[in-house]
Amino acid sequence: MNANFLQTPIVYLKGVGPNRAETLKSELGVETYQDLLNLFPNRYIDKTQYYKIGQLQRSNADVQIIGKIINIKTVEQKRGTRLVARFKDDTGEIELVWFRGQKWIRENLKLNLPYVIFGKCNWYNGTFSMPHPEMEPLKEHQQGTKVYMQPVYPSTEKLSNKGITNKVISKLMQQLFIEINGKFTESLSDKLLYELKLLNKSESMFNIHFPKNQELLAKAQFRLKFEELFYIQLQLIGKNVSRKKKIKGFPFLEVGEYFKDFYNNKLPFELTGAQKRVIKEIRSDLGSNAQMNRLLQGDVGSGKTIVAVMTMLLAIDNSFQACLMAPTEILANQHFQGISELLEGTEITCALLTGSVKKSARKPIHEQLENGELNILIGTHALLEDKVKYKNLGIAIIDEQHRFGVAQRSKLWHKNEFPPHILVMTATPIPRTLAMSLYGDLDISVIDELPPGRKPIKTVHRYDANRLKVFRFIRDEIEKGRQVYVVYPLIQESEAMDYKDLMDGYESIARDFPQPKYQISIVHGQMKPADKDYEMERFVKGDTQIMVATTVIEVGVNVPNASVMIIESAERFGLSQLHQLRGRVGRGADQSYCILMTGHKLSNDSKTRLETMVATNDGFEIAEVDLKLRGPGDIMGTQQSGLLNLKIADIVKDNDILKSARFYALQLLKEDPSLSKPENLIIRHMYAQLVKHKNIWTYIS
């Protein structure tokens, strides 16, 4: 089938016309023949079976029966009338009922003529009845196009109001298949079809819209899901391979004095096996001639910062500069303090650049950066300003990268004649499935063990009614010299309401923990940055024992002495946020606790989230549950990027197909990177078509 023909505007399909075309476009995004073909059914009604009346169950299921009408009558009811027919086969009788269109039905139904009826069965007063059944004379039913499993297409209220029912869409689909003549150009190679025992393209398209039976439907779904995921993986992996060929990186061939000295003399603790493995993967990237583009995933407290520092030292050993960009000033400050401490006693120069650094202090930073005296620059979005010029930036490390837009990240690339190596770090564990699709063109490293001496955090769920017991527990912990966080949710829509919740909470805590015995810090979004930092600083130094805050402390505040995290209205938080907040404690050697406070009214999803938090500390396990609850669109904000706008596959449910698609795409590109072998020309052609019509989303990683 000519690909250009499939780009024909839908208005030209018989039965559509301008008005319907407009509605199909606005409601379902269907503009071309291709779009209509890719409007896959949500579910199917099985019409492959015929039931006997004697077999019917009280299940309210859709059934199909062959029989005859033996009598028909009008029955009076409170309001108006209803039409009732007795329908019989050789095992029993059932009533057919109509409340609308009675005149037409009465005139057109024939007694004692074999009919096929289809509809939902109700059981009432000892009798089965079927309201408004679909009816077709048996003879016509046997001669017509067999739609065994009836597809149910996506619909909206507007479509129904405009008369574009499921039946209408099915008719349009049939018309389209007549025009196409049922012939589709194959889009996968013979090798793939043979190895995976896939249906060919024409059979798959026919059986997804007009399946003959369950088995053929399942095969068609598998084939089309595989194809969709295969081409996405082909693009992501292809991008990675071609970038490594095209974009030359600076090879860091030296493992020099700075790196060796730090490793042998300055490491605050023995590296875990996972950290060693990740550093090895990074070193191998940096030693090649290609630009590194790696995602480093590690749960809160797994020691990503040490890996980042050692990566920077490799750059400095090879006479390059390094930068680290964080999403908030608090986090940038913390990285700066932590890294400065680690590098104390070395000759390495390190500076901090954020929005609140004064103009007078910026000038020397800009100068030292440009003349190469400054080795490491740490900061926020301020690093992206045009004034910030490097002598030779060798590596850019981006922390919590999902908080930065694509345009902001690409700016870092253009700070140099050659793009620097890129290391992206995240403490938001991304499920393997999502990582393969979201970051399929990045190489992925995972730190999956915590440093020695860390005790798992104990998590419990308590209702508001237990608050006095919780306060008693806090007192005991403070007696032992520990510190406590109390966090309130932030609901963007209503800052006033957030503030009120926070202040109410603060007041009740101040009553139960009076001065001067107890000191309390408070931090929220409406405070000036300087006031926020002052309050944070008091807590970090231990001048205050309790920190009452909104979620501003979610990322990166490191207070090893804080051992209790209380999350108020925990049901209003997402799973990954709860996990991030819990990660603020458990940073010292003491046993730490996370207490999830809620009211008694909880939705099923909230219950699942709270149970998951209590059951496990494993960020990846939590991310998998989160993915199932929220779907891929919400996690990492992928909705906005048009990413994963899949037509038929679902990366959560079709995890196994995704893995298989990635495996075959990798294998193919290894054997034939340019897709130029004769047996792969089909794939090459299809790939070019998809990219041309933007049916594969594109984005910069």
Q: Are residues 483 and 591 in the same domain?
A: yes
**What's the rounded mean pLDDT across residues 553-581?**
82
User: Does residue 500 share a domain with residue 388?
Assistant: no
* Alpha carbon distance, N-terminus to C-terminus of the chain: 35
Output the pLDDT for position 387.
85
Predicted confidence band of residue 469 (pLDDT cuts 50, 70, 90): very high
Positive/negative CA dihedral, 274, 280, 282, 285: negative
Residue 437 belongs to some domain of the structure: no
User: Does residue 407 register a pLDDT over 70?
Assistant: no
pLDDT at 102 over 60: yes
What are the angstrom distances between the C-alpha of 320 and each of 161, 206, 532? 65, 59, 35
The pLDDT score that the predictor gives to residue 325 is 92
Residue carrying the six token digits 């403490």: 427
Claim to verify: residue 401 and residue 475 sit in the same structural domain: no
Domain-embedded: residue 13: no
Query: What is the dihedral sign for C-alpha 52, 58, 63, 69?
Result: positive
Same domain, 420 and 466: no
Q: What is the mean pLDDT of residues 682-697?
A: 73
Structure tokens at 227: 């194809």
What's residue 232's pLDDT? 87
Share of the chain above pLDDT 90, in %: 40
Mean per-residue pLDDT for 80-104? Answer: 91
Q: How confident is the model at residue 433 (pLDDT cuts 50, 70, 90)?
A: low
Q: Does position 458 have pLDDT exceeding 70, yes or no?
A: yes
Is residue 578 assigned to a domain? yes
pLDDT at 442 over 80: no
203/640: higher pLDDT: 203
CB 324 within 8 A of CB 472: no
Phi/psi at 375 (5° precision): -85, -40
**Which range in 115-129, 319-333, 465-479 is most confidently predicted, on average pLDDT?**
465-479
Per-residue burial over 301-312, b if 16 or more Cβ lie within 10 Å, else e, is bbbbbbbbbbbb
99 and 58 in a common domain: yes
Residue at which a domain ends, from 407, 426, 445? 426
What is the rounded CA–CA span in Å between residue 6 and residue 13?
A: 11
Residues 394 and 532 in one domain: no
Contacts of 615 (CB under 8 A, 6+ apart): none
- pLDDT score at 563: 92
In this structure, the answer to whether residues 530 and 610 fall within a common structural domain is yes
Residue 642 has pLDDT above 50, yes or no: no
Q: Are residues 406 and 462 in the same domain?
A: no
pLDDT at position 119 over 50: yes
Domain for residue 238, yes or no? Answer: no
Residues 361 and 504 in one domain: no
Tell me the mean pLDDT in the region 530-554. Answer: 84
205 pLDDT tier (thresholds 50, 70, 90): very high
Kindly state whether residue 380 falls inside one of the protein's structural domains.
Answer: yes
- Work out the angle at residue 429's Cα, subtended by the Cα atoms of residues 428 and 431, and round it to the nearest 5 degrees: 135
Decide if pLDDT at 420 tops 50: yes
Spatial CA neighbour of 320 closest among 291, 295, 344, 345: 291
pLDDT at position 497: 62
Omega of the bond leading into 514 within 30 degrees of 0 (cis): no
The predicted structure's pLDDT at residue 310: 94
Residue 345 has pLDDT above 60, yes or no: yes
Average pLDDT in the chain = 85
**Same domain assignment for residues 497 and 364:** no
Q: How far from chain centre, in Å, is Cα 3?
A: 31
The whole-number pLDDT of residue 696 equals 46
Tell me the average pLDDT across 164-180: 90
pLDDT higher than threshold 60 for residue 368: yes
pLDDT of residue 25: 92
User: What is the rounded average pLDDT of the residues 200-220?
Assistant: 90
Instruction: Please name every residue paired with 115 in a beta bridge, in sequence order, or none if there are none.
Output: 67, 137
Task: State residue 115's pLDDT score.
Answer: 95
pLDDT of 697 = 38
Mean pLDDT check: name the lowest of 171-175, 649-653, 685-689.
Answer: 649-653
Give the span between the Cα atoms of 165 and 66, in whole angstroms. 26
pLDDT value for 278: 95
584: domain CATH number? 3.40.50.300
Same domain, 497 and 550: yes
Q: Which amino acid is at 6?
A: L
In the predicted model, is pLDDT for residue 1 greater than 70?
A: no
643 pLDDT higher than 50: no
CATH of the domain at 75: 2.40.50.140
- Helix %, strand %, coil % for the chain, to 5? 45, 20, 35
Q: Rounded mean pLDDT of 210-225?
A: 90
Instruction: Identify the domain boundary among 111, 146, 181.
Output: 146
Say if residue 639's pLDDT is above 70: no
Q: Which residues pair with 430 in a beta bridge?
A: none
Mean pLDDT lowest among 329-338, 393-402, 586-595: 393-402
Boundary-marking domain end, from 594, 616, 638: 616
Res 111 pLDDT > 60: yes
Domain count, the chain: 3
Identify the pLDDT of residue 499: 63
* Dist CA 530 CA 547 (whole Å): 17
Residue at 279: amino acid letter: I
Choose the weakest-confidence range: 122-131, 317-326, 358-367, 480-489.
Answer: 122-131
**CA distance readout (Å), 132 to 90, 98, 100:** 22, 5, 8
User: Is the pLDDT reported for residue 698 higher than 50?
Assistant: no
* Calpha distance 44→235 (Å, rounded): 32
Q: Is it the case that residue 399 has pLDDT exceeding 60?
A: yes
CA torsion 244-249-254-255 (nearest 10°) is -70
- The closest alpha carbon to 293, from 122, 421, 111, belongs to 421
8 A C-beta contact, residue 198 and residue 222: yes
DSSP string computed for 2-71: -HHHHTSBGGGSTTTHHHHHHHHHHHH---BHHHHHT---SEEEE-S--B-GGG--SS--EEEEEEEEEE
Beta strand 92-98 with 127-131 is parallel
Give pLDDT, residue 414. Answer: 64
Question: What is the pLDDT at residue 162?
Answer: 86
The answer as to whether 441 is a domain residue is no
Q: What's the average model confidence in pLDDT over 318-327?
A: 92
Task: Give the H/E segment covering residue 134.
Answer: strand 134-137
- Residue 554 in domain: yes
Buried b (16+ CB within 10 A) or exposed e, 430-452: bbbbbbbbbbbbbbbbbbbbbbe
**Spatial CA neighbour of 168 closest among 184, 178, 153, 186:** 153
The Cβ of residue 591 has, within 10 Å, a number of other Cβ atoms equal to 14
- The CA-atom distances, in angstroms, between 39 and each of 190, 286, 483, 665 are 26, 45, 56, 25
What is d(CA 587, CA 561) in angstroms, rounded to the nearest whole number?
A: 8
User: Residue 77 — very low, low, confident or very high, per pLDDT cuts 50/70/90?
Assistant: confident
What mean pLDDT is predicted for residues 162-183?
89
Question: What is the model's pLDDT at position 552?
Answer: 63
Q: What is the DSSP string of 327-384?
A: SSHHHHHHHHHHHHHHTTTSS--EEEE-TTS-HHHHHHHHHHHHHT---EEEESGGGG
- In terms of residue numbers, what domain contains 388? 257-287+303-426
Residue 654 in any domain: the answer is: no
For residue 241, pLDDT beyond 90: no
pLDDT tens digits along 30-53: 999 989 999 999 888 878 788 999
Q: Helix count (H) and strand count (E) of the chain?
A: 25, 22
Q: What is the pLDDT of residue 640?
A: 34
pLDDT at 308: 94
In this structure, the answer to whether residues 382 and 267 fall within a common structural domain is: yes
CA distance 454 to 113: 79
Spatial contact of 584 and 539, defined as CB atoms under 8 Å apart: no
Structure confidence at residue 88 (pLDDT): 94
Query: What's phi and psi for 435, nearest 5 deg?
Result: -60, -40
pLDDT reading at 167 higher than 60? yes
Residue 482 pLDDT greater than 70, yes or no: yes
Q: Which helix (H) or strand (E) holds 398?
A: strand 393-399
